[in-house]
Amino acid sequence: MADTLETAYANSTSTTPVVILDGASSTTYTILSLLFCQTGNYAITFSLYRTDSGGSTNKTYIYKNQSIPYLSTFEHTDKIVLEASQELWFESSGTSNLDVVASYLKQTSPTGDVLKEHSTILNSSGGSGSWAQTTNGGSDSDILPVAATTRTVLSISICNQSTSVDVGFDIGYLVNDTSPHRYLYRHQSVPATGTFIHNSKLVVKPTDNLQLRTPTSTANTDLGIVVSYLEQS
């Protein structure tokens, strides 16, 4: 396994999406920081999202319509893990001159303790107020599923992709995949197009998992959820 610290650069002058990191096979990327600098004399918004290979599959927002004043910098300092062939994209509103600098750890053919991510979208199939509500169109019910290994969560980002509806949510820790849930967050609110970030380390033991639920009133609202973690073999 080869570990190298590297930097990626990107620039946007229109609404066309721009790739920041285009992942390669057998390679893991851990974003350490992202700097977005609007060098033009006008305020804009930008969106940041991760995808699978190809730039459109499993598009999960980390920021949606995040505002940035003119001649200002927005700084993201929480870790984002991209596994093999996954990609990181951004797009800006209107005519802009937005520079992006990403600092990251690149690991080729990682073995042993491995950095990973789990991305889900809580969509209109959820909103039941139940812990059993599903994500990714019904294929998943956890934001971090049960595994045979210990996982250390490095960050959880929850992006409200709605442009008009605020969303409340709960996150629960499920021991041995069995009720009752132990709350990590209760009635936490995310405004429309807002992002909530948990960046304290959280150890999830084997056979345990994390789940998220929202009230029925937000049943048609999409939440983009990205969990970055270290899996210990």
Domains of the chain: 2-108 (2.60.120.220), 114-232 (2.60.120.340)
Sheet hosting strand 167-174, strand order edge to edge: 181-190, 167-174, 209-213
* CA 75 – CA 144 distance, rounded (Å): 26
pLDDT at 125: 47
* CA 48 – CA 31 distance, rounded (Å): 13
Give 13-51 pLDDT, tens digit per residue: 989 999 999 988 889 999 999 999 999 888 999 999 999
Q: Where are the beta strands (DSSP E) in the chain?
A: 2-12, 18-22, 27-38, 44-51, 60-68, 72-76, 80-82, 87-92, 98-108, 114-122, 150-160, 167-174, 181-190, 195-198, 202-204, 209-213, 223-232
* CA 188 – CA 184 distance, rounded (Å): 10
**At a CB cut-off of 8 Å and minimum separation 6, what does 139 contact?**
none
3-state secondary structure of 96: coil
Q: Answer yes or no: is pLDDT of 222 > 70.
A: yes
Token code pair at residue 71: 């001649």
3-state secondary structure of 177: helix
Give 165-207 pLDDT, tens digit per residue: 888 888 999 998 887 889 999 989 999 999 999 999 999 999 9
Give 102-157 pLDDT, tens digit per residue: 999 999 988 889 999 999 887 644 455 666 655 655 445 689 999 999 999 999 99
Place of tokens 């998992």: 209
Q: How far is CA 50 from CA 19, 61, 148, 202, in A?
A: 10, 7, 26, 22
Q: Answer yes or no: is pLDDT of 221 > 80.
A: no
3-state secondary structure of 79: coil
Give 71-115 pLDDT, tens digit per residue: 999 999 999 999 998 999 999 997 779 999 999 999 998 888 999
